[in-house]
Every structure is written in C-alpha cells, then in structure tokens.
Amino acid sequence: SATRETLGFQTEVKQLLHLMIHSLYSNREIFLRELISNASDACDKLRFEALDNGALFESDPELKIRIGFDKAARTLTIIDNGIGMSRDEAIANLGTIAKSGTREFFSHLTGDQKQDANLIGQFGVGFYSSFIVADKVTVLSRRAGLPADQGVKWESGGEGDFSVEQVERAARGTEITLHLREGQDDLLSGWKLRALIRKYSDHIVQSIVMKQEKWDEEKKEQVVTEEDETVNQASALWARPKSEISDEQYREFYKHVGHDFEDPLAWTHARVEGRSEYTQLLYIPAHAPFDLYDRNQRHGVKLYVKRVFIMDDAEQLLPAYLRFVRGVVDSSDLPLNISREILQESKDIEAIRSGCTKKILGLLDDLVANDAEKYKKFWQAFGRVLKEGVAEDMVNRDKVAGLLRFASSHADTTEENVSLADYIARMKEGQEKIYYVTAESFNAAKNSPHLEIFRKKGIEVLLLSDRIDEWVVTHLHEFDGKPLVSVAKGGLDLGKLEDEAEKQEQEREAGEFKELLEKIKKSLGERVKEVRITNRLTDSPACLVADEHDVSGNLARILKAAGQ
C-alpha cells in the first residue's frame, strides 16, 4: 500500500541482533519469556493509563495474553490486549534502543562470543530475542484509544531493516508472529510451549491462555480444540506464602520486574502488618544497569494496590540512593485511584518507604554477616550509589555508614574492603579519631605527603578517591563515637598518639625557625594564611594544609572542575 515504508535499524540494533543470534543460541527459549514479559508490561501500561481514561478499555476489559502455534505455517503467535503501539511507537520501540549508555555498551564488546554473550545479558535482550528462533517477525498492533484504521504492521527479517505499514485492525493491543527458522520445529508443540510458560512465566499476573488439546483416537495425535485454558497460575507471586515459592520462581519473577537477563543477587519478601499494611518483594540485582547514573532511568519498584497494578517505577517508594532496587510493593491501604500527586503526600507511602528502606539495609547487613562474596559483588556494583545515602538519609545515616567500604593504608590497594568498624578495631592504643585523606585518584591519596607521619607511626588512614567521598565526609562527622578527621586539614593534633618529646621538639623548632617562617610567609603573600613548622612530614620538605573549616584541597578542585 501507499503507506508502506522501509526503514533501517539503528546501528546498535543491527549489532545487537547479530550478536544475539550468534551468542545466545543455547539460551534460545528465553525469547518466549521476553515476549510474554512485554505483553504483560503492555497490559500494566493500559491499566495505568485507564486510571484517567476508562474508555481505553473499549469493550474488552479482561486483560490477557494468548499463545498459539500453526504447524503448517511454522509460526508461533503471542497476542495481548494491552496498550498496543501506534505507528510511531512501533518505529521507535522496535527499531532503536532508547537506553542511555547504549553506545558505551557497544564499545565494550570484544568479539569474543562467550564474553559478549555475558555482556548482552547485562544489557538486556528483550523484543529482539525473537530473532534467535525466527527469520521473520511480524507485529500487528493498535494502540488503545486509536481508531481501527490506525493499526500498524511492522515486519523484519532481523537483518538491516524493517517495514512499517498502516493497516486496519479491530483488536486493541499487539499480535506478534514468529516465522520460525529452519530446525526450530520442536517449538510447534503445545506440550513444549506449556512447559516453557510454566518454567519462565508462571508468575505473570495476567492469564496466559492457549487452546486446549485433546487426544484424537482416529488421527492418533493431539489435536487443538476451541476451548481456552489458562496455562500459568496467573496469581500475584508476592501474595503467595513464602513456603510455596521456589527460588527458581523468585528468580524468574525478578527477570520480569527487573528487565534483567541474569539472576538477582538477593531478595527479601515480607508482609507487613500494623498501622500500614503491605507486602514487599524487593530484589538487589547482581550488576549495575547501564543507566544507573541516568536520572531518567526507569524500571524501579512497581506499586500495586490489593494486587492491582498501579504504576511502574514509583520513586516515592524508596530513597534515590536505593534506586538500584527492583521489585513490587502491594499496599492494602491506598485507594485504587491513587495519582502520583497523592503519592507524594501520602502518610501510607511514607511508612512504606521507611519500611522498605529498613528492609533493604537489613538485607545488606545480612549479606555482610553471611555472604561476604555477595556483599563484595554488591559493593562493586552499587557502592558508589549507596554512599549517597550518608548525605540523603539522616535517619539511617549510621546504618548506611556501617555498610560503606573504603580503601586504606592498611592494605594500600585500590580494593574498597575496609569498613569503619574494621578500622576502629585496628585503632592504635590512645587513638581517638578515624583519619582519612581525600584525593583525585587512589595513587594521589596513597602517596599524599600528609600520610607520612601516619605511616611512620603505623596509624591506618582511609584512602578516599571517589568524587562522592568528599560528599560523604562532609556529612559523616563521626562513626561509633569516633570523629572522622582529614589528615590534610588544620593543625594536626595527634592527641595521645604524640609523645611528649615530639611536642617539645616542635615548640623548640618553632622558636628556632621563626625568622625563616616569616620570610616564607612574606614571599608567598596572599596565597597562604599561615606557614607552620610541622611534624606531619617525614620525607617531604613541605605540604599544603587546609584550615579546619575550609573546603579541602580536593573538594576545591572538584568544585572548580564543575565550574563553581
């Protein structure tokens, strides 16, 4: 027809398709999980938009997903009556990758299939995984609310381009037809498809229906009938008792809510009763998404009210420093017609937010105590984000501080594995403070002249070189009653760590070199406040020190770089 157009895939999509077909073949079954996951999301989106506009349900309010197959045509179909796509949405959603960090992701690919397959998992495969098993994919869709003549047909062989065409389509939602590649015929079996649905998609809340099959005595084979049958449990996983949920089911549910290809690192599932009643099923992913630092990133915690989906990524449910958490919260108290505005002021949400925060911090404490390897993995992926909590969350500041890990002069390596508690346990006799140095790199911190006296005396110093560390120490003044002190600030008072002889020596020298100090001060003029004799150096002749209440040298550098 006149409206048919052929368009090229974004370069990154082409690369992704090529890689996926070649490296994920041994995992080919996951295409079904991904397409069902999308169908379920589309139903959720319709529900959400229908909160303001009930007409979107048209005359078809029961949301469901249908799976079918046609042996003769060698096709599989996945149909939903969710939100659907307009022509423009089909082009944008099925022709490009909108994630920030996409370009960076592709620059990490090595060409080594095993390694790249692993990376692809971290990136997320989604819709494009259809092409693992299909050499042609046809998508028919109509967006809820648009007239029947505004349907769209999208089609591609998964090579360089795809076509889009305006079509007539009475049914709302999306129908995806996979034309199977050679050798994929085992998928054309009701038994096989049911097994895959139960394995990967049992937790999907909408019904996943298939036509029932019956044994035909004459043909001596299973034949498809006209009766519908729901294949999955179609009940909210989080509402089931914990004892009835297997780890495998928890993991598969995570892959759907977390839009992740890999298993989660840990999860916590609890029903909270009392003033505010809700169920929480929260996961910590095993790796950071590519858009962790993107303020617009989606896919956080989903909010349900009495098992009815309300919204995705309800950011009020957790503080920003826990934005890596995925999962669902299901409230028994909130009204079904809640809006984002109401969420912001709701006392119930406040209680949920503080409860979820405590749960996640508790889960992390648990990892620290029982699974050091996992905590290490967590720290590598999300440590920098967790650090924001020291500034953001006054109520839980000490808890968050206890979870922080730093590099220190104890091991002198870049690895951040020293907790403040470890540090305190190693403090010298008479030591009352936690000492740290901040610098723009680990090496600058490690080699700071300010450390010389500490190294000589065998006092451990935390080596801070993350940008965010400056922020951490401006908000964290003490831990467990021990003040945190920069080794580069103020007159260094080592207190009881300094012996009498050293003090007297310093006073004697101050007198002896008075003239020299004045001379240096005069020649440096406005650039310094003061010139002092010090015992902080053992090898270097001189160093710069910030005043107790001034910004540190490193922070000054950061602010300057940020244009302030």
Q: Please give the angle made by the CA atoms of 403, 406 and 409, to the nearest 5 degrees.
A: 145
Q: Which of residues 17-36 bind ligand ADP (CB under 6 A)?
A: 34
* CA 416/CA 411 separation, integer angstroms: 10
Helix (H, G, I), strand (E, B) or coil at 325: coil
In this complex, which beta carbon is closest to Mg ion, that of residue 129 or of residue 276? 129
**Strands across the sheet with 173-180, in order?**
5-8, 161-167, 151-156, 134-142, 173-180, 75-80, 64-70, 207-216, 221-230
Whether residue 431 is annotated as binding a ligand: the answer is no
Q: Residues 181 to 240: which contact ligand ADP by CB under 6 A?
A: none
85 labelled as ligand-binding?
A: yes
Give the distance from CA 36 to its chain's centroid.
22
Tell whether 447 is in a known binding site: no
Binding mask 441-480 for ligand ADP (x = CB under 6 A): ----------------------------------------
Q: Copy the structure tokens of residue 35.
A: 């397409």
Minimum CB separation of residue 145 from ligand ADP in Å reads 13
Per the CB < 8 A criterion, the answer to whether 437 and 473 are in contact is no
Note whether 16 binds ligand ADP by CB under 6 A: no
- Closest approach of ligand ADP to the CB of residue 43, in Å: 9
Confirm or deny that 340 is annotated as ligand binding.
yes
> Is 422 annotated among the ligand-binding residues?
no
Is 74 in contact with 179 (CB distance < 8 Å)? yes
**Contact region with Mg ion (CB under 5 A), list: 51-59, 125-133, 145-153, 475-483:** 125-133
Beta bridge mates, 6: 163
8 Å CB contact between 141 and 38: no
In Å, how far from its chain's centre is CA 550?
36
Residue 174 binds to ligand ADP (criterion: CB under 6 A): yes
The answer to whether 38 is a known ligand-binding residue is yes
Which of the listed partners (Mg ion, ligand ADP, none) does 83 bind, with a CB threshold of 5 to 8 Å by partner kind?
ligand ADP
Q: Give the rounded distance of the alpha carbon of 501 from its chain centre.
A: 55
Closest of 296, 71, 304, 74 to residue 178, by C-alpha: 74
Distance CA 519, CA 531 (A): 10
**Of 16, 21, 46, 83, the one binding ligand ADP by CB under 6 A:** 83
Residues 365 to 424 in contact with ligand ADP, rule: CB under 6 A? none
**Structure-token match 């589309």, residue found:** 42
Q: Which does 260 bind (CB under 5 to 8 A by kind): ligand ADP, Mg ion, none?
A: none
Tell me if 300 contacts ligand ADP by CB under 6 A. no
Q: How far apart are CA 455 and CA 437, in angstroms?
A: 13
Residue number of the CB atom closest to Mg ion: 126
The answer on whether 298 is annotated among ligand-binding residues is no
Under the binding rule (CB under 5 A), the answer on residue 389 touching Mg ion is: no
548 vs 35: CA distance, rounded Å: 59
Q: Does 39 bind ligand ADP (CB under 6 A)?
A: yes
Given 82, 84, 121, 126, the residue binding Mg ion (CB under 5 A) = 126
- 174 assigned ligand-binding residue: yes
- By C-beta, is 17 or 476 nearer to ligand ADP? 17
Nearer CB in complex with ligand ADP: 38/465? 38
Residue 82 in contact with ligand ADP, rule: CB under 6 A = yes
Nearest distance, CB of residue 216 and ligand ADP, angstroms:
33
Q: What is the DSSP letter of 409?
A: T
Cβ closest to ligand ADP, residue 65 vs residue 314 = 65
Q: How far apart are the first and last CA of the chain?
A: 58
Neighbour-count burial of 303, counting CB atoms closer than 10 A to its CB (0-12 exposed, 13-18 middle, 19+ buried)? buried
Q: Which of residues 117-136 bind ligand ADP (CB under 6 A)?
A: 124, 126-127
Residue 38 touches Mg ion, criterion: CB under 5 A: yes
Q: How far is the CB of 91 from ligand ADP (least distance, A)?
A: 11
**Residue 81, binding choice from Mg ion, ligand ADP, none, Cβ under 5 to 8 Å by partner class:** none
Of 122-130, 360-368, 474-482, 554-562, the window that binds Mg ion (rule: CB under 5 A) is 122-130
- Check binding of 206 to Mg ion (CB under 5 A): no
Total length of the chain? 564
Residues 458-487 close enough to bind Mg ion by CB under 5 A? none
User: What count of Cα atoms within 13 Å lies in the side-chain half-sphere of residue 371?
Assistant: 11
Interatomic CA distance for residues 94 and 130, integer angstroms:
11
Point out the residue whose Cβ comes nearest to ligand ADP: 126
Tell me how far apart the alpha carbons of residues 380 and 377 are, in angstroms, rounded to a whole number.
5
Q: Is 101 annotated as a binding residue?
A: yes
Does 43 participate in binding ligand ADP (rule CB under 6 A)?
Answer: no
Amino acid at 545: V
Nearest approach in angstroms of CB 262 to Mg ion is 14
3-state secondary structure 452-495: HHHHHHCCCCEEECCHHHHHHHHHCCEECCEEEEECCECCCCCH
**Binding-site residue total for ligand ADP (CB under 6 A)?**
17
Instruction: Kindly tell me which of 302 and 450 has the beta carbon lying closer to Mg ion.
Output: 302
**What's the rounded Cα separation, in Å, for the pair 324 and 292?**
7
DSSP assignment letter at 169:
-
> Strands, E, within 465-522: which ranges?
478-479, 482-486
**Where do contacts with Mg ion occur on this chain (CB under 5 A)?**
38, 126
Residues at the annotated binding site for ATP?
34, 38, 80, 85, 93, 99-101, 122-127, 174, 340
Binding residues: 34, 38, 80, 85, 93, 99-101, 122-127, 174, 340
Q: Which residues bind ligand ADP (CB under 6 A)?
A: 34, 38-39, 41-42, 80, 82-85, 93-94, 124, 126-127, 174, 259
